[in-house]
Amino acid sequence: MDLLRFLIGFIFIISIAYLFSADRRMINWRLVLSGIVLQLIFAILITNIPFVESLFSSISKFFVLLIGFSKEGTLFLFPDASFNGFAFSALPVVILFSSISAFLYYVGFLQIIVKSIAWIMSKTMKLSGAESLSAAGNIFLGQTEAPLLVKPYIKKMTQSELMCLMTGGMATIAGGVFAAYVALLGGSDSEESLKFATILLTASIMNAPAGIVMSKIFQPENVENSINKNLDLSNEDLGSNAIHALAKGASDGLKLALNIAAMLLAFLAVVYMLNYFLEFFGDITTLNSWINNFSDGQFDKLSMEFLLGQVFRVFAFMIGISWNESALVGSLLGQKFVLNEFIAYLNLAEMKSAGFLSEKSILISTYALCGFANFSSIAIQIGGIGSMAPSRQKDISKLGLRALLAATLATLLTGNIAGFIIA
């Protein structure tokens, strides 16, 4: 039964991607198959091979330790800080992780990891060097930081390579926000934090080949002879020394933390405003009581969450969520797509604490939400990647919405695989 559910979900996701393909005749199905197999191998290695499982557990423990260290730094600045709220539990972690990531990049550690993963993807999926490097870099870096690894190549990228660059950025997450999600979902429980650190790390790795697969279905390569196989990294913005790298990383992390806080404040305020009017409309039309009965109490009134849940519940069901819980998870998927993944993870943490979702649904949701695939990312990439190669800004704008759809399907594919192999 689980195998059947997986196959139905898999065919559903691939079919949507095929429907939106720019040139179905040019789809390289060998590459698609290689990417999916690579996803499956990553999932099996991380969760079923003792040595690899132990290695990833150790890495996750390191992340959890760093979260604890960030609390000590926070308490120095704010002695009365409460870690029950988002501001002190998650945002300081973003700053620390950004600083550590910058340091690891400066000393060359991240480059070794990135080049190793890029080499694997380049050989198995026959990608260009720039595609492989940016996809691997996205596992650790953000959607405007990872392209710096291949900055000199962007202006000469084919449409397919550019699509791959953009999709990969939206299909994965950055190290800084990774830590914030762990803090959100794990809370003060170290065991839970360790569990979600491993899940999110696995998801980010699996999303790299998934993003490539979807981008190559949406925008197949048609200029094979022009592809550059070079795997040389650009040394952009490393910092003048280790101290400078740490300081610059902290400064960039502060900007990111403030940006996250601003987006959450604005988006949540808008959601509450819309829900206020929707609830009022539901009251005068008696829709609220109907919705309460229709959803068996999962939703008690007309709201954005309810509407998004109904639109996206079919996607939740297709990736392995039971129909009874599909509206709740569909709501999370919709929030991530329309707003951002932070709001979705905040609500997932609340559903987890309230016991609204089964363990399997929580696990699949965590995988499926792990990515920057939302409307604001289109603007971020136009501004960020476009500034690195101004001549390609028009192309980036044209590919923006397609990259968003491709990245969304990539995270759903990862959620589907996780539901079958891991859950």
What average pLDDT score do residues 261-270 get?
Answer: 84
C-alpha 164/C-alpha 174 separation (Å) is 17
C-alpha 277/C-alpha 275 separation (Å) is 5
Confidence of residue 233 (pLDDT cuts 50, 70, 90): low
Average of per-residue pLDDT values in the chain: 86
What average pLDDT score do residues 373-389 get?
Answer: 86
Sign of CA dihedral 301, 305, 307, 310: negative
Neighbouring C-beta atoms of residue 146, cutoff 10 Å: 24
Letter string b/e over residues 199-220, b meaning 16 or more CB atoms within 10 A of that residue's CB: bbbbbbbbbbbbbbbbbbbbbb
Residue 345's pLDDT is what? 93
Residue 2's pLDDT is what? 81
Q: Which two tokens stand for residue 221?
A: 């390569």
pLDDT over threshold 70, residue 225: no
Residue 237's pLDDT is what? 58
Torsion of CA 128, 130, 136, 139, to 10 degrees: -140
Mean pLDDT check: name the lowest of 69-73, 147-151, 188-192, 238-242: 238-242
Neighbouring C-beta atoms of residue 343, cutoff 10 Å: 19
Residue 275's pLDDT is what? 92
Q: Which two tokens stand for residue 408?
A: 């969304």
What average pLDDT score do residues 225-248 get?
Answer: 67
Q: Go through the chain and tell me how many residues it has.
A: 423
Residue 330's pLDDT is what? 96
Residue 229's pLDDT is what? 58
Nearest to 117 by CA among 45, 63, 178: 45
What average pLDDT score do residues 133-149 get?
Answer: 81
**Highest mean pLDDT: which range of 93-107, 135-149, 335-349, 401-415:** 401-415
Mean pLDDT check: name the lowest of 149-153, 266-270, 301-305: 149-153
Residue 18's pLDDT is what? 97
CA-based max dimension of the chain: 65
Nearest to 400 by CA among 373, 360, 422, 421: 373
DSSP 3-state helix, strand, coil percentages of the chain (rounded to 5)? 80, 0, 20
pLDDT over threshold 90, residue 132: no
